[in-house]
Amino acid sequence: MALTRKGAATKQRIIEGTASEIRRHGVFAMTLDDVMERTSTSKSQLFHYFPGGKEELLLAVARHEAARVISDQQPELSALTSWSAWQDWRDKVVSRYREQGRDCPLQMAVSQAGSATEGAQAVATELLEQWQHELATGIRHMQGLGEVDADLDADHSAAALLAGIQGGVLIFMSTGRLTHLEAALDQGIASLRRRAASRGSQAGVPRNPRAGQND
């Protein structure tokens, strides 16, 4: 359905308002009446933009929040070109989840929309693929600089780092503690640096004392 500029703005307002309601009250307590009141929309408007009702609205919220996961890490995520840049990205990820708090609209919206549904799976898959692609691109850049082993599988390493991050996020959501997320990020980055240092020493090539310090 093609929307006018005003219609697109209204639809976006409903999505953002729903995400705010989820943060404020949780997805279980949130009702469509809450959304309508918060966004100053009528029931007819709500179902005009989301004819599938609450499930369709929650999927739209999930897509919106998934896009935010990536955009909130920019520009650092797309500029992993030195170890200091990786550290800056690491700090931004931690800050993002600290500011967001334990209530994650993306996680709650996907779970309530039905994690087994095709739409929910597509949202999660697209987010993880894009995130992994950005990390793998950063690893390949560091390989080009000689700061990461050239024979390292960048996609596999990015997948492992991302899995650690997601595990840390889930623990944070359960406990309110960011230490596991920080540990996953620190160990993942340290592993990339360690392998490069180890390879240089095994090859009998003196490692440039400035390598890894191009910060």
Task: Give the DSSP letter string of 90-125.
Answer: HHHHHHHHHHH-S--HHHHHHHHHHTTSHHHHHHHH
pLDDT band with cut points at 50, 70 and 90 for residue 111: low
pLDDT in tens, 51-71: 998 888 988 988 998 899 999
Dihedral sign of CA atoms 150, 151, 155, 157 in order: negative
pLDDT given for residue 25 in this prediction: 78
Cβ burial of 20 (10 Å; 0-12, 13-18, 19+) is: middle
pLDDT of residue 207: 44
Weakest mean pLDDT among 103-112, 142-151, 197-206: 197-206
pLDDT for the residue numbered 119: 79
Please state, rounded to an integer, the average pLDDT across all residues of the chain.
86
User: In this predicted structure, what is the pLDDT of residue 30?
Assistant: 82
DSSP labels, 165-179: HHHHHHHHHHHS--H
CA distance 41 to 20: 15
Local confidence band at 134 (pLDDT 50, 70, 90 cut-offs): very high
Check residue 33 and give its pLDDT. Answer: 92
Q: 14-56, pLDDT tens digit by residue?
A: 999 998 888 887 777 888 999 999 999 999 999 999 999 888 8
More confident position, 211 or 160 = 160
Higher pLDDT, 201 or 87: 87
More confident residue, 206 or 101: 101
The predicted structure's pLDDT at residue 161 = 97
pLDDT in tens, 192-214: 998 666 665 554 444 443 444 44
Its pTM surpasses 0.85: no
